[in-house]
Protein backbone atom coordinates (compact mmCIF):
# COMPACT_ATOMS: atom_id res chain seq x y z
CA UNK A 1 0.00 0.00 0.00
CA UNK A 2 1.36 3.43 -0.94
CA UNK A 3 2.20 5.84 1.86
CA UNK A 4 1.15 9.46 1.77
CA UNK A 5 3.77 11.86 0.44
CA UNK A 6 2.91 14.47 3.11
CA UNK A 7 4.35 13.59 6.52
CA UNK A 8 1.78 13.29 9.31
CA UNK A 9 3.31 16.22 11.26
CA UNK A 10 2.82 18.57 8.30
CA UNK A 11 -0.73 17.34 7.67
CA UNK A 12 -1.55 17.88 11.34
CA UNK A 13 -0.44 21.51 11.28
CA UNK A 14 -3.16 22.61 8.82
CA UNK A 15 -5.70 23.59 11.51
CA UNK A 16 -3.40 25.67 13.75
CA UNK A 17 -1.90 27.30 10.66
CA UNK A 18 -5.35 28.17 9.35
CA UNK A 19 -6.29 29.67 12.71
CA UNK A 20 -3.20 31.88 12.70
CA UNK A 21 -3.85 32.96 9.11
CA UNK A 22 -7.45 33.87 9.95
CA UNK A 23 -6.38 35.88 13.00
CA UNK A 24 -3.86 37.76 10.87
CA UNK A 25 -6.56 38.39 8.26
CA UNK A 26 -8.86 39.77 10.97
CA UNK A 27 -6.08 42.03 12.21
CA UNK A 28 -5.53 43.32 8.67
CA UNK A 29 -9.27 43.88 8.30
CA UNK A 30 -9.42 45.87 11.53
CA UNK A 31 -6.49 48.02 10.43
CA UNK A 32 -8.29 48.72 7.15
CA UNK A 33 -11.48 49.65 9.00
CA UNK A 34 -9.65 51.92 11.45
CA UNK A 35 -7.85 53.95 8.78
CA UNK A 36 -9.59 57.15 7.69
CA UNK A 37 -8.09 57.85 4.24
CA UNK A 38 -9.89 55.50 1.87
CA UNK A 39 -13.50 54.33 1.86
CA UNK A 40 -12.58 51.54 -0.57
CA UNK A 41 -10.00 50.20 1.87
CA UNK A 42 -12.63 50.41 4.62
CA UNK A 43 -15.02 48.27 2.54
CA UNK A 44 -12.28 45.73 1.83
CA UNK A 45 -11.42 45.57 5.52
CA UNK A 46 -15.04 45.04 6.51
CA UNK A 47 -15.40 42.22 3.95
CA UNK A 48 -12.19 40.59 5.20
CA UNK A 49 -13.44 40.75 8.81
CA UNK A 50 -16.79 39.17 7.94
CA UNK A 51 -15.25 36.38 5.83
CA UNK A 52 -12.48 35.64 8.33
CA UNK A 53 -14.97 35.56 11.20
CA UNK A 54 -17.26 33.09 9.42
CA UNK A 55 -14.30 30.90 8.50
CA UNK A 56 -12.97 31.14 12.05
CA UNK A 57 -16.27 29.75 13.35
CA UNK A 58 -15.71 26.67 11.18
CA UNK A 59 -11.95 26.29 11.67
CA UNK A 60 -12.22 26.81 15.42
CA UNK A 61 -14.46 23.74 15.65
CA UNK A 62 -12.18 21.41 13.65
CA UNK A 63 -10.26 18.60 15.33
CA UNK A 64 -6.61 19.61 15.76
CA UNK A 65 -5.38 16.47 14.00
CA UNK A 66 -7.68 16.68 10.96
CA UNK A 67 -6.02 15.99 7.64
CA UNK A 68 -6.27 18.75 5.00
CA UNK A 69 -8.99 16.86 3.09
CA UNK A 70 -11.01 16.13 6.23
CA UNK A 71 -10.54 19.72 7.42
CA UNK A 72 -11.88 21.04 4.09
CA UNK A 73 -14.94 18.75 4.20
CA UNK A 74 -15.70 19.59 7.83
CA UNK A 75 -15.24 23.31 7.12
CA UNK A 76 -17.78 23.11 4.28
CA UNK A 77 -20.22 21.21 6.49
CA UNK A 78 -19.89 23.70 9.35
CA UNK A 79 -20.23 26.67 6.99
CA UNK A 80 -23.36 25.03 5.57
CA UNK A 81 -24.81 24.74 9.08
CA UNK A 82 -23.95 28.39 9.78
CA UNK A 83 -25.60 29.45 6.50
CA UNK A 84 -28.77 27.47 7.28
CA UNK A 85 -28.91 28.98 10.78
CA UNK A 86 -28.62 32.53 9.38
CA UNK A 87 -31.18 31.79 6.64
CA UNK A 88 -33.73 30.39 9.11
CA UNK A 89 -33.20 33.42 11.35
CA UNK A 90 -33.77 35.84 8.47
CA UNK A 91 -36.87 33.96 7.33
CA UNK A 92 -38.31 33.89 10.86
CA UNK A 93 -37.96 37.65 11.49
CA UNK A 94 -41.24 38.64 9.74
CA UNK A 95 -43.14 35.85 11.51
CA UNK A 96 -41.74 36.70 14.94
CA UNK A 97 -42.26 40.43 14.41
CA UNK A 98 -46.02 39.93 13.97
CA UNK A 99 -46.56 37.63 16.98
CA UNK A 100 -47.36 40.37 19.47
CA UNK A 101 -49.54 42.50 17.20
CA UNK A 102 -53.34 42.64 17.37
CA UNK A 103 -55.34 41.30 14.42
CA UNK A 104 -57.65 44.33 14.42
**Within the chain, where are the H helices?**
8-12, 14-34, 39-59, 68-97
In this predicted model, what pLDDT tens digit does every residue of 41-71 receive, in sequence order? 999 999 999 999 999 999 998 888 888 888 8
pTM for this model (two decimals): 0.71
Amino acid sequence: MARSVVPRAIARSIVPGAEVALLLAMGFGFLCVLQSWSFGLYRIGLSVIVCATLLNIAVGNLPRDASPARAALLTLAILGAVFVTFAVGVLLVPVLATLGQDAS
